Amino acid sequence: MSNFNTLIPARKSRVTGSRWVILFILTLGLSTGWKSAQANVPENAPPQVKNLLTQIDASANRADVKGVMNFYSPNFVHGDGLNRSSMEKSLTSLWKRYPSLKYTTKLQSWSTQGNSIIADTVTNIVGLPSANNKLGMNATIKSRQRIVNGKIIRQDILSERTQLTNGVNPPKVDINLPEQLKVGENYYFDAIVNEPLGDDFLLGTALNEAVEPGKYLKPTPVDLELLTAGGIFKVGRAPAKPGNQWISAVLVRGNGMTMITQRVPVVEK
């Protein structure tokens, strides 16, 4: 699973984590492979596009899976390999775990391509801890979608970053990670706790995984290391083939946990 070399000695403790961020595919977005017309400003967007985004956000805020999927074509495809059925299952699972997520989508630009409308958006997803669920979430996803006759027929995520927290005092973490990698390239990944730990021990690990549809709902085993410094300092190597990677840092102290995941594209040299 991991393609990191550690720079710190460690004692390992095994826990089970999940690839949470991959469930955030609801946000409207699609990949860089399209050659679309010059983008227009959001203020001039067709009313049907503005209405579509507003209705999807409203349905998502109600955790109405059927309502959301009504805006997706039966032949919908996603750049990560999902289809309409697997997307619906992912959303159902996500909203059972997080019943009160709040979605806010902003249109950045739009263009036309034949009978399609291409819309670039930024979606923020927030989940606050509650008495029944101590997990907090903040995700930002930039994306593009192709819309035909009021239905989304394709999505690809351009970028995504998700932070999950748990406990009364999750570590405050800054990460340093390249926005893009070349195939086979070595890179540094740092996740630094930016506050005093006092007498707390700090456990953590870094993960990197290929973005694949089969990993959207599959739990990922995590080996936590007892850290001798205030963070994680790793050297990684990009895969030999182009694609997208999820790169994550998990940091745990006595009374809190923080997990940050970022999507990083791997491109040809």
Residues recorded for the chain: 269
What is the C-alpha to C-alpha distance for residues 79 and 30, in angstroms, rounded to an integer?
7
Domain span including residue 119: 22-160
Answer yes or no: do 143 and 56 share one domain. Answer: yes
The pair of structure tokens assigned to 10 is: 């460690």
pLDDT of residue 195: 87
pLDDT of residue 222: 79
Domain termination residue (choose one: 101, 133, 160): 160
What is the C-alpha to C-alpha distance for residues 120 and 96, in angstroms, rounded to an integer?
28
Which residue matches tokens 């403790």? Answer: 13
Closest CA to 99 of 142, 72, 129, 56: 129
Q: Give the Cβ contact number of residue 241 at 10 Å.
A: 10
Query: Looking at residue 251, which CATH number applies to its domain?
Result: 2.60.40.10
What is the C-alpha to C-alpha distance for residues 204 and 64, in angstroms, rounded to an integer?
36
Answer yes or no: do 182 and 210 share one domain. Answer: yes
Domain termination residue (choose one: 115, 140, 160): 160
Answer yes or no: do 170 and 254 share one domain. Answer: yes
Closest CA to 29 of 98, 135, 111, 123: 123
What is the C-alpha to C-alpha distance for residues 75 and 102, in angstroms, rounded to an integer?
27
How many folded domains does the chain comprise?
A: 2
Answer yes or no: do 179 and 129 share one domain. Answer: no
In tens digits, what is the pLDDT along the chain, a chain of 269 residues?
456 554 433 333 444 443 333 333 333 332 233 333 456 767 788 999 999 999 999 999 999 999 999 999 999 999 988 899 988 988 998 888 888 899 999 999 999 999 999 999 999 999 987 776 778 999 999 999 999 999 999 999 999 999 999 988 899 999 999 999 999 999 999 999 998 888 889 999 999 999 887 766 666 777 888 998 899 999 999 999 999 999 999 999 988 999 999 999 999 98
Strand partners, 236: 4, 187
pLDDT of residue 100: 85
pLDDT of residue 6: 40
pLDDT of residue 3: 63
Answer yes or no: do 34 and 79 share one domain. Answer: yes
Answer yes or no: do 207 and 131 share one domain. Answer: no
Query: Looking at residue 28, which CATH number applies to its domain?
Result: 3.10.450.50
Answer yes or no: do 27 and 155 share one domain. Answer: yes
Answer yes or no: do 130 and 35 share one domain. Answer: yes
Domain termination residue (choose one: 160, 182, 204): 160
For residue 2, CA distances in Å to 8, 138, 141, 228, 247 come to 16, 25, 24, 20, 10
What is the C-alpha to C-alpha distance for residues 169 and 256, in angstroms, rounded to an integer?
5
Answer yes or no: do 179 and 131 share one domain. Answer: no
Answer yes or no: do 155 and 168 share one domain. Answer: no
Answer yes or no: do 45 and 77 share one domain. Answer: yes
> Cα torsion for 80, 82, 134, 199, to the nearest 10°?
-30
